[in-house]
Amino acid sequence: MAPASKNSGESRWPFSCSSPISIEATSTVPSSRGSSPPLSVAAYSAKPPRKVATPLWTTAKLRRTHAAVSQRLQDALAAADFPPLAWYELLGAVAEAPERRMKMGDLAESLVITRGGLTKLIDRLIKAGLMERAFCDTDRRVSYATLTLAGIDLLEEMRPVIVAELDRSFTANLSTAQAKDLRRALEQVRASACATT
């Protein structure tokens, strides 16, 4: 399934690939003093202020890095006339699940997205013939997202674009040891953030 020609003037997917990813880069951090104005996260992009805790500065850096890398991936997909990054992430998550199907609740948690947002996204992929929705035989309240053959084919077409862009914007700037250390550190943070109390 080859991408449509860029000279045709039409995209084969029902959306605008050029739409920017919405990232809240100027969210505020509550001040410890009621009389002080809120502090912008963007203010910590250069170096950590002396009185600001390191985790706050690190989180701001992480948000900005994620936004930058995600935008480059989005632009690369758009240039190749592919669906947006959110489609790739959804297809990839389901493809890695047993039998290439996943409970909607588990999928929403995996993608860090609300169930309402996931439902709308799934509806678009179903309309495009890339996914199907199935219900549990014993409990109709439980539904599954299932990958179709067309969804598998599209995922395989999109993956080289993603890998190539990650090599240019991310992997090329880190050694193997640095990449392993970063992955380990991020996994520790994720595990701590997701832990129940």
pTM score, whole prediction:
0.68
CB 96 within 8 A of CB 147: no
Query: What confidence category does residue 100 fall into, taking pLDDT thresholds of 50, 70 and 90?
Result: very high
Please give the single-letter amino acid code of residue 125: L
Locate the domains of the chain by residue range.
54-194
**Region of poorest pLDDT, from 25-39, 43-57, 62-76, 180-194:** 25-39
Which strands make up the sheet holding 143-147, listed edge to edge? Answer: 101-103, 143-147, 131-135
CB 61 within 8 A of CB 55: no
Under CATH, which number does the domain 54-194 receive?
1.10.10.10
What are the pLDDT digits (tens) for 131-142? 999 888 777 778
Q: Which residues pair with 114 in a beta bridge?
A: none
What are the pLDDT digits (tens) for 33-45? 444 444 444 444 4
Question: Is pLDDT above 70 for 165?
Answer: yes
Counting residues of the chain whose pLDDT is more than 90, the rounded percentage is 38
pLDDT at position 27, please? 38
CB 98 within 8 A of CB 118: no
